[in-house]
Structure 1
Amino acid sequence: MISRLSDDLLLKILSSLPTKDVVSTMLLSKRWKFLWTMVPALYFQSDFESSKDDYAKFRQHLRLGWHSTTDDITIWIKIAVARRVRKLKIHCYTDDDDIFLPSCLYTYNNLEVLKLGNSIVLDVPEDVRLPSLKTLHLLCVEFRNEESSRRILSGCPCRDCLFLIRIERETIPT
């Protein structure tokens, strides 16, 4: 009976489930095989109660967490852009390296909400163009230089909401 529901309604239901349950629906039938890939939001939470083996297995497929790298984040941002995601929230916590975002994010026409936080360094290119961006949250991110802070703000002409908490640290060497 649930398979008779519209894709829109099924996607709304799936978006309220944990990611591991959403992905497992692909086994239900041919119709469900790729339905999970259209879910607008996937949630991953790594908790300390999970066994280390479970976390290690999951990281083989989804390399996000305390030890994420710029390469990990870049892959997922490129997937999000390819899937035409409209809302993107990235908060990275890493002691090892700063996280740099790929240039494709700064020229993504469909992005409406961008929330960035913590170990992210914004190295904004000159050709930044985010025409649909309405909400921009920058929480304790670093700007590679002063031009980057000016560019990100000027590249969002339709911005309605700006939330900025800026930390003062030395400029990152180029």
Structure 2
Amino acid sequence: MVTLLRIDHFPRQASLKVLSAASVREITFPGKQRAAIVTHVTADRELGPAEADLWESLLSVVLWLPAALDTRLKRDGISLAEFLILWCLTEHRDRTNTMSSLAELSRVTPSHLSRIAARLEKEGWLVREPNPADARYTSASLTEAGSRKYAEAAPGYRAVLREHLFDRLTAEQTAQLTGIMAEVARSLNLRS
């Protein structure tokens, strides 16, 4: 059995259901509408009260923590999406990566990444040029100004993470949550 689920929005009052599936694959349609293809569905059952509470809490964090990060970063003149691109380049060898790899790492569409990169390039924080190893690809490289901008914005980014996440957890809770989130990421094929 194959089911197509829209995942481009999450109605807050919607009935929460879980699908136990052997395979879930996300796809993006023209117009940026996202969906998940679920195959081998074995059960369709309501979430229990504890599961619904967990899902609501997780969804709140997933929606509101990025908003808090974006608000703080905008004080430094950069959006969360732009900051994450600078972070990806900062962490990559030679501070250079292909645009297609950056899109995959940052979980944005290539066209959205192009718009972000255009602004970063306009600010002088990155440069784009044909990849010397394969001209079919475009590489993005962090500039010295981009490195300075990242260093300027990073303390505010970390402060929000500490305020809303890390300072609220014990070391044991942090380790437990890391293990739990790693398991969820594995189920979504985000990590091996």
Question: What's the TM-score bracket when you normalise by the shorter of the two chains?
Answer: 0.3 to 0.5
Larger RCO of the pair (alpha carbons < 8 Å, separation 6+):
2
Larger Rg: 2
Normalising by the residue count of structure 2, what TM-score does the alignment of the two structures yield?
A: 0.30
Could you tell me the TM-score, scaled by structure 1's length?
A: 0.33
- Higher normalized helix content (fraction of residues): 2
